[in-house]
Amino acid sequence: MQAETDTSSKVQKILRILLLLYFGFFNAGKVLAVNMTVPNTLIRGAVGGEALLSVHYHSFSLDLPVIKWQLKREKSVTVVQSIGTDIIGTLRPEYRDRILVFENGTLLLHNLRLSDDGTYDVEISITDDIFPGEGSITLTVDEPISRPYIHMESSSVLELSDHVILNCSHDNGTKTTYRWFKGGKPLSNQTRFLMSPDQQLLTITRVLMADDDMYSCLVENPVGNMTSLPIRLAVYRRSSLYIILTTGGIFLLVTLVTVCACWTPKKSRQQPRKPLSRIYDHSHHTSVNHCDGDVSELDSRRMQL
């Protein structure tokens, strides 16, 4: 089947060449073909904006051209087909009220969407011409970038800290690239300045006093760029006195913790308390005995009398 298709295509090309030669001899050098030019094969557009897919054609015929635009996909999608500027048939729903065709074949797309991104093929044919004019234009559609901002956990650090991470963030934008600046001068991957593969993150390892400066990031994409507001990284010197005090404080804290962990209070020697029941019994017996003595003494006096 494929072989038959290729053979048929070759036959058609041979017939067109023979017809061109034939009409070339009998029309005093006139070429019966649409001559098309494409000024720009790459057009960049922004979401919500418009894109002008510009083409120009030339023909000896005075007939109106038949213009056909298609978007390349797995199966090509017909965007619009017209005779001159008059659109033929009904537009697909996604292209309604967004299409305008000019007399020279140029296509204007309004209110661009991300789905409009792709390669567009155009064909212009005229009845009197044997060969149609053909061209191709690539359209890229991107979302504009919102103003980026830099995020970091702390805006001030001590000298010789382990590291600081700066994150260049933004809300909108497609196909973005990033560039970092320190004091208005571009930064690149260095020993202490490391960037993520997409360069959105900047890591400063082992911060020094020289890193006390203004930092900003530039975000770019095919339809524009935006620079963040600069942010200052404040670096404080780690003095010798600070190191001594810090070391001494840590040593004192460890000592106190060790002493508290090893110290236990001594038990005081106290005489055991007697039960209240025994005290009560003793006092009761004593009072009884005292009363018995008084009675005996009274009886002896009575006998003497």
Give the domain ranges of the chain.
33-142, 149-236
pTM over 0.75: no
CATH, range 33-142: 2.60.40.10
Class of domain 149-236: mainly beta
Matching residue, tokens 């074949």: 105
Question: Cβ of 150: how many Cβ atoms within 10 Å?
Answer: 19
Task: In whole angstroms, give the CA distance from residue 7 to residue 10.
Answer: 5
Task: Tell me if domain 33-142 and domain 149-236 are identical in fold.
Answer: yes
Average pLDDT over residues 217-229: 95
Average pLDDT over residues 13-21: 54
Mean pLDDT of the chain: 79
- 130: pLDDT confidence band, cut at 50, 70 and 90? confident
Angle at 81 between CA 45 and CA 118, to 5 degrees: 30
Beta bridge partners of 164: 204
Average pLDDT over residues 216-232: 95
* Cα torsion 151, 154, 160, 161: sign: negative
Beta bridge partners of 56: 37
